[in-house]
Amino acid sequence: MKPLAETPAEERLKQLKTVYSRQREAAERFNAYITLRSLEEVEEDAESSEGPLKGVLLPIKDNISTRGVKTTCASRMLAGYSPPYDASVVKLLKKAGATVVGKTNMDEFAMGSTGENSAFGPTRNPWDVDRVPGGSSSGSAVAVAYHGYVSLGSDTGGSIRLPACYCGVLGLKPTYGLVSRFGLIPYAESLEQIGPFSRFSKDLAMLMKLLIEYDEMDMTMTPSTSLRNSIASRLEAIIKSTGKPAVVNGVKIAYSSKLISLADSRVQRVIENFISYLRDEMHAEVSDVDLPMLDKSLSAYYIIAMVEASSNLARYDATYYITRETYTSYWQDTIRLRSEKFGDEVKRRIIMGSFASSAGYMGRYYLKALKVRRFIKNLVSEVLSRFDFLLMPVSPSPPPKLGEAVGVDAYALDIYTVVPNLTGHPALAIPIGFSSGLPVGVQFISDYYKDAELVYLAYLLEDRVYDPRKAPG
Ligand code: GLN
């Protein structure tokens, strides 16, 4: 197995059947897919496509619109929906020759941390089927971990990085506004980004290079082409790299021992060893810094995310989502529709989000959460003005068993991941080891538009702290 970035198209086409059959296994054994296209469809597409991703099978999270292929958000509400258009990211990758292999399982409307809140059943962790793979982009992480190469997910509060960590692969949340979200079914837009999973750092670079095109359909994108060009050339340099330096003298990395001490002792141990490795073997300058209030980010995140969710999900009403034949009255039908078609977690968030932004309580909850967000943004920006990277755990624990982390226990898994969503910084989850046979990862956060520097860091650590070829049996 080698990076797709180093595999010629003919070779990818030759491997296609094998790669596809692994994905079918991932669908059957771990429930990684909501929709898997047939081998015939996939082969036909792959043979007729042209471009740098010819012969690449691409699993896509089921909240990213794909023309003519069902896009359900793992919800009964959208169970029969086939979008009439492609999301911009899908359009870009198809134009580059990629073949959509299927739509991956996820938490309903991307609300969850374990992959269990799906109307189509939970996704399972390929390293241990009794454990969760992490969510909400559960299927996209499993697809790569289980002998795949690359996939797409979305990350509102950790939904790429948490499953990447639990499944032992790379997962990147890009800088806010760097990758178009046109065609992503929204959950909480001030926080979320579409991003790639991969096992090889070069493949991450290759996908990112294609994904950062400016899109006037996404109003959050920064239209600076020169900025984009400089990122593209740095990504290209990673793809072309042959050797790598033995040490990284002068690279400054910050971490907070206080924050790490909030994690489970097994996770702590692996991360502490990794920090020693960075310091002693890689010669990085690693410093312990104080990050007061970062532990408040979880509360701020959940209030903001729920408020935005309650507003976004208001669109699912009897105007568009019932058929004319069953129509009785707007309110009656809307109540019935939403009671029947939304899962419990989605309902909980709509109720809490409406409450936290209601006239009488807005100041106490929503506006306060925005102030905490501002404070955290300043804090992280200040650290990143002095350091190249901020290192944090991804998850406070190894992957929980199915049914073990529900309600607020599931929210608590996000304590580290929500930080860069609140601040907009890019963050990359990198596998750094195993504890009792289960993957452990860390995330690196860097300054805005330093996404390529994060990918380069993964490149440096590849084959040294993690083996990109390692896969569950
Ligand atoms: N677990 C978080 C939530 O449920 C993050 C989900 C996500 O990033 N989409 O909101």
What are the pLDDT digits (tens) for 427-457? 999 999 999 999 999 999 999 999 999 999 9
pLDDT of residue 225: 79
Pairing of strands 170-173, 427-435: antiparallel
Q: Does residue 215 register a pLDDT over 80?
A: yes
Average pLDDT, the chain: 96
Average pLDDT in the 149-177 region? 98
292 confidence band (pLDDT: 50, 70, 90) = confident
| Domain membership flag for residue 327 | no
**40 Cα: distance to centroid of ligand 1 (angstroms):** 35
| Domain membership flag for residue 338 | no
CA 58 to chain centroid: 15
Find out whether 141 and 153 touch, Cβ atoms under 8 Å: yes
| Domain membership flag for residue 214 | yes
402 confidence band (pLDDT: 50, 70, 90) = very high
pLDDT of residue 423: 98
- Of ligand 1's listed atoms, the one at least distance from the Cα of 345 is 4
pLDDT of residue 40: 97
Distance CA 349, CA 101 (A): 32
Q: What is the 3-state secondary structure (H, E, C) of 78-100?
A: HCCCCCCCCCHHHHHHHHCCCEE
| Domain membership flag for residue 363 | no
- Residues belonging to the active site: 61, 136, 159
- Of ligand 1's listed atoms, the one at least distance from the Cα of 113 is 1
pLDDT of residue 222: 74
pLDDT of residue 99: 98
Q: Does residue 55 register a pLDDT over 80?
A: yes
417 confidence band (pLDDT: 50, 70, 90) = very high
Half-sphere exposure of 472 (CA within 13 A, CB side): 26
17 confidence band (pLDDT: 50, 70, 90) = very high
| Domain membership flag for residue 340 | no
Q: Does residue 156 register a pLDDT over 90?
A: yes
pLDDT of residue 251: 96
What's at 343, amino acid-wise? G
pLDDT of residue 264: 95
Report which secondary-structure segment, H or E, holds 173. Answer: strand 170-173
Nearest one of 179, 191, 190 to 217, comparing CA atoms: 179
What are the pLDDT digits (tens) for 232-245? 999 999 999 999 99
**What is the count of structural domains for the chain?**
1
Distance CA 184, CA 65 (A): 6
Cis peptide leading into residue 339 (ω within 30°): no
Half-sphere exposure of 259 (CA within 13 A, CB side): 27
What are the pLDDT digits (tens) for 105-128? 999 999 999 999 999 999 999 999
pLDDT of residue 134: 98
DSSP per-residue string spanning 425-440? --EEEEEEEEETTEEE
Ligand 1, pocket-test mutation among 108, 109, 113, 415, most atoms within 8 A of CB:
113
Average pLDDT in the 192-204 region? 98
CATH number of the domain encompassing residue 39: 3.90.1300.10
Q: What tokens does 121 get?
A: 């059943």
CB of residue 388 inside a 6 A radius of ligand 1: no
- 305: exposed, middle or buried (C-beta count within 10 Å: 0-12, 13-18, 19+)? buried
Q: How many other CB atoms sit within 10 Å of the CB of residue 378?
A: 11
CA 368 to chain centroid: 27
293 confidence band (pLDDT: 50, 70, 90) = confident
Q: Could you list the residue range(s) of the whole structural domain that residue 161 is in? A: 4-246+410-461
**59 Cα: distance to centroid of ligand 1 (angstroms):** 20
| Domain membership flag for residue 256 | no
Q: Does residue 404 register a pLDDT over 80?
A: yes
CB of residue 159 inside a 6 A radius of ligand 1: yes
- 223: exposed, middle or buried (C-beta count within 10 Å: 0-12, 13-18, 19+)? exposed
pLDDT of residue 126: 98
147 confidence band (pLDDT: 50, 70, 90) = very high
| Domain membership flag for residue 58 | yes
Q: Does residue 324 register a pLDDT over 80?
A: no
CB of residue 305 inside a 6 A radius of ligand 1: yes
390 confidence band (pLDDT: 50, 70, 90) = very high
| Domain membership flag for residue 217 | yes
Better pLDDT: 320 or 272: 272
**163 Cα: distance to centroid of ligand 1 (angstroms):** 11
pLDDT of residue 25: 98
**33 Cα: distance to centroid of ligand 1 (angstroms):** 19
Q: What tokens does 290 get?
A: 């104080």
pLDDT of residue 249: 87
Q: In this structure, what DSSP letter does residue 279 have? A: I
